[in-house]
Amino acid sequence: MERSARADDARLLHIYQGARSSMDKIFRVNMTDLSTKIEAVPADWAGLGGRGLTSTIVAAEVPPTCHPLSAQNILCFAPGLLTGTPAANSGRLSAGAKSPLTGGIKESNAGGTAAQMLAKLGVKAMIIEGAPKDGTWYNLSVGVNGVTINEEKELLGLGNFAVIDAVEARLGKKTGVLTIGPAGELKMTAANISVKDPDSKIRSHGRGGLGAVMGSKQIKFISIDGEGAPGVKIADPEKFKTAARAFSKALLEHPVSGEGLPTYGTNVLVNILNEAGGLPTKNFSMGQFEAHDKISGETMNEVIASRSGKVKHGCHAGCIIQCSQVYNDKDGKYITSGFEYETIWGLGADCCIDNLDDIARADNLMDDIGIDSIETAVMFGVAMEAGILNWGDSKEMLRMLREEIGKGTALGRILGGGAASVGRTYGVTRVPVVKNQGIPAYDPRSVKGIGITYATSTMGADHTSGYTIATNILNVGGYVDPLKKEGQVELSRNLQIATAAVDSTGMCIFVAFPALDIPECLPALIDMINARFGIALTGDDVTNLGKHILKLERKFNTEAGFTNVHDRLPDFFKNEPVAPHNAVWDFTDAEIDAFWDF
Amino acid sequence: MRVTVKLFATFRNGRFKVEERELPEGTQCRQVVADLSLTDDEIGIIMINGRHGMLDQELQPGDVLSLFPLVGGG
């Protein structure tokens, strides 16, 4: 077993070396001595991108036991293998570091304009190491000639929207921006990194507190100038074109990516999970929310249409799924965009808030403050359980975002530390986290496959790392009964392996829906990678890449102090049955640990 | 027997959100789908009382039948 894994790694390395592209560079920034360098891409990084590359860099350069907010941590960004090409939905950027929230390795990926700009500049990865020795803050300018470090004073303390406006005024409308808000500056462990989207609004490297890592390096924002970018060279343009066409066809043909997501967005899930009894409600004490219809995707679709908002919207150029939207208030004025199921579930059902407009306002505030909307929504559920505010009190929730978290009061810093921080501080026993990261929008008792993903993911509780909802609930990629234990470990394992590979391509994870059902989809994706680099990866190679990434991440976590005891759900899932199915979390430790038998 | 039928997403267009129906004993899901002018292929997810069901499943008195097109998110 071990020997064959090594042989697989050697084969991958051999293929990657064939992929070496002289154009691509590593941009390295040292915030201790304020120096920058352009480096050649090491041979064994040449065929990596996205998560595969950020996790490889973190594993190679970060001491696993270091303090995540110390100079020993790094923050790195990498576009995916296909980012910057005409491949549909390939514009995702991966950010990596040791997470201050989980204490383990972290990759968080986001849309926006930065990934494609970096890829076209030939930036394979940007690595930011060290930390300033005094209190001076900086911004970084990235361009065709590398990175410059500039002192920043004017924009400190400002929200992300003001930063984007100011950077565009300084440097031009086309400038790409990665920025942190007050939460990142104050190094809150739920802080995110915001990425400017095509409408100068915001996408987020949401999970794991990477905004705090950027804050610890005293970088308020990173601007990207695409002027003079050489663009991405494709080794075999004809082959690429054929594969890209087949790939786009699959995305448009599948009912989920072709129709469901563009029409209702991700929020179509509220009603489905509610019906299935898997919509965590009132801080995970129930599986259905009485007011589900008021916050559902169907209602949201009607509200958006009646207020001349946009039902469809893409987070990056070249997205043909368009799951996002623009949500206006009753006077037709913009409230928010990129308004996702997890945010709406979390502030809605989990906090018992039935006012969709207030949830939208909170979404916009969280973008501006720069705080993860999943962690923060789960946190508010715990805060309500603690009695810090009342269930369903959306006005007080908005005030706390603005006045406490946004201004960094003592209470705000506790709230900004996420669900576990509030639970610990206030003595709450029902705290839905794994590895300290808030559990997202699917109850693991009534959707058991996702519980295996939450428990075993190298990232902490993360639905995207092995989205078993597809097969447990949505009948995509077959069907595995969500209420039974049979088949869940294998389902989660296969999806986590596939996802680690897909997260390395720069692809949006929603390409998984057609990839699970339409036989031409995955081969077309692999053909695009092969045509881009002039290599010959097989389907097995891609699976082995996924396995390699997961094992590399787990090794980092093990060296950081994690054991199998950390691959567990909180006890209350075992002891408190959830209605309507009265389901409990009933996996044995050995059954969970079998996840890693590959 | 009385059965509650709930429709979601595009199935609501020109139809309804929720409706009580009087059906003969032994009615299968497939018949309800046909009565709604939906084809078997259009059906993405069937839930009966919050559990996944099949087109040929017989409905029981008091059941809640929920029909969804193939949709997803996350």
Contact A479 B52 (CB under 8 A): yes
Strands A219-224 and A310-313: unpaired
Asked if residues A199 and A337 have their Cβ atoms less than 8 Å apart, the reply is yes
Q: Phi/psi at A402 (nearest 5 deg)? A: -70, -50
The tokens of A509 are what? 């994870």
C-alpha pair distances (Å), B70 with each of A34, A495, A514, B65: 53, 20, 12, 16
For chain A, the domain total comes to 2
Say what the pLDDT of residue A595 is: 98
Q: What is the pLDDT of residues A433-444, one digit of tens each?
A: 999 999 999 999
Greatest pairwise CA separation for chain A in angstroms:
65
Q: Average pLDDT in the A346-355 region?
A: 98
Among partner residues B47, B51, B73, which is closest to A268 by beta-carbon distance?
B73
Strands A138-143 and A219-224: parallel
Q: What is the pLDDT of residues A564-596, one digit of tens each?
A: 999 999 999 999 999 999 999 999 999 999 999
Q: What is the pLDDT of residues A11-31, one digit of tens each?
A: 777 776 666 555 799 999 999
Q: What is the pLDDT of residues A145-158, one digit of tens each?
A: 999 999 999 999 99
- Look at A22 and A515; give whichever has higher pLDDT: A515
Say what the pLDDT of residue A23 is: 76
Residue type at position A491: L
d(CA A298, CA A287): 20
Say what the pLDDT of residue A21 is: 56
- Residue A377's nearest CA partner among A432, A300, A447, A296 is A432
Protein fold of B2-68: Ubiquitin-like (UB roll) (3.10.20)
* Alpha helices per DSSP H over A317-468: 341-347, 356-369, 373-385, 394-399, 410-415, 419-426, 448-456
Interface contacts A/B by beta carbons within 8 Å: 89
Question: Do A434 and A351 fall into the same domain?
Answer: yes
For residue A325, the domain's CATH number is: 1.10.569.10
Give the residue from A264, A340, A465, A468 with the most B CB atoms within 10 Å of its CB, the best one to mutate: A264
Contact A272 B44 (CB under 8 A): no
Q: Average pLDDT in the A116-129 region?
A: 98
A561 interface with B at CB cutoff 8 Å: no
Kindly give, in sequence order, each residue whose CB lies less than 8 Å from that of residue A318, ignoring residues fewer than 6 positions away: A86, A87, A88, A89, A90, A91, A116
Q: Is the dihedral of CA A345, A350, A355, A359 positive or negative?
A: negative
Question: Do A269 and A329 fall into the same domain?
Answer: yes
Specify whether the backbone of A520 is left (phi greater than 0), alpha (psi in -120 to 50) or beta: alpha
pLDDT bracket for residue A207 (50, 70, 90): very high
Final residue in a domain of this structure, among A443, A473, A497: A443
Residue A484 resides in a domain: no
Instruction: Quickly tell me which residue has 């008021």 as its tokens.
Output: A294
Residue A508 resides in a domain: no
**Which chain A residue lies closest to B12 (C-alpha atoms)?**
A298
Domain residue spans of chain B? 2-68
Residue type at position A74: I
A463 interface with B at CB cutoff 8 Å: yes
Say what the pLDDT of residue A401 is: 98
Q: What is the pLDDT of residues B14-38, one digit of tens each?
A: 999 999 999 999 999 999 999 999 9
Contact B52 A261 (CB under 8 A): no
**Portion 410-449 of A in contact with B at CB < 8 A:** none
Other Cβ atoms within 10 Å of A121 Cβ, number: 29
**Which chain B residue lies closest to A517 (C-alpha atoms)?**
B70
Question: Do A196 and A283 fall into the same domain?
Answer: no
pLDDT bracket for residue A1 (50, 70, 90): very low
Residue A488 resides in a domain: no
Could you tell me the residue range of the domain that residue A29 belongs to? 23-224
- Residue A553's nearest CA partner among A98, A237, A204 is A98
Question: Do A195 and A268 fall into the same domain?
Answer: no
pLDDT above 90: residue A174:
yes
Residue type at position A155: L
Question: Do A203 and A289 fall into the same domain?
Answer: no
The tokens of A234 are what? 């494709």
C-alpha pair distances (Å), A428 with each of A105, A424, A431, A564, B30: 27, 7, 7, 24, 47
Residue A333 resides in a domain: yes
Q: Average pLDDT in the A531-537 region?
A: 94
Instruction: Quickly tell me which residue has 């009485």 as its tokens.
Output: A290
Q: Average pLDDT in the A78-83 region?
A: 98
User: What ipTM was estimated for this complex?
Assistant: 0.97
Question: Do A178 and A288 fall into the same domain?
Answer: no
Question: Do A184 and A310 fall into the same domain?
Answer: no
C-alpha pair distances (Å), A510 with each of A120, A186, A251, A464: 23, 33, 9, 10
Question: Do A211 and A273 fall into the same domain?
Answer: no
Residue A239 resides in a domain: no
- Residue A510's nearest CA partner among A338, A313, A319, A299 is A319
Q: Average pLDDT in the A137-141 region?
A: 98
Final residue in a domain of this structure, among A224, A249, A284: A224
For residue A213, the domain's CATH number is: 3.60.9.10
d(CA B56, CA B27): 9
**Portion 2-41 of B in contact with A at CB < 8 A:** 6, 8-10, 12, 17
* Mean pLDDT across chain A: 96
Question: Do A302 and A191 fall into the same domain?
Answer: no
pLDDT above 50: residue A34:
yes
What DSSP string runs through A249-313? HHHHHSHIIIIIHHHH-GGGHHHHHHHHT-S-BTTTTBS--TTGGGGSHHHHHHHHHHTT-EEEE
Q: What is the pLDDT of residues A443-484, one digit of tens each?
A: 999 999 999 999 999 999 999 999 999 999 999 999 999 999
Question: Do A43 and A145 fall into the same domain?
Answer: yes
Say what the pLDDT of residue A10 is: 79
Residue A361 resides in a domain: yes
Q: What is the pLDDT of residues A384-433, one digit of tens each?
A: 999 999 999 999 999 999 999 999 999 999 999 999 999 999 999 999 99
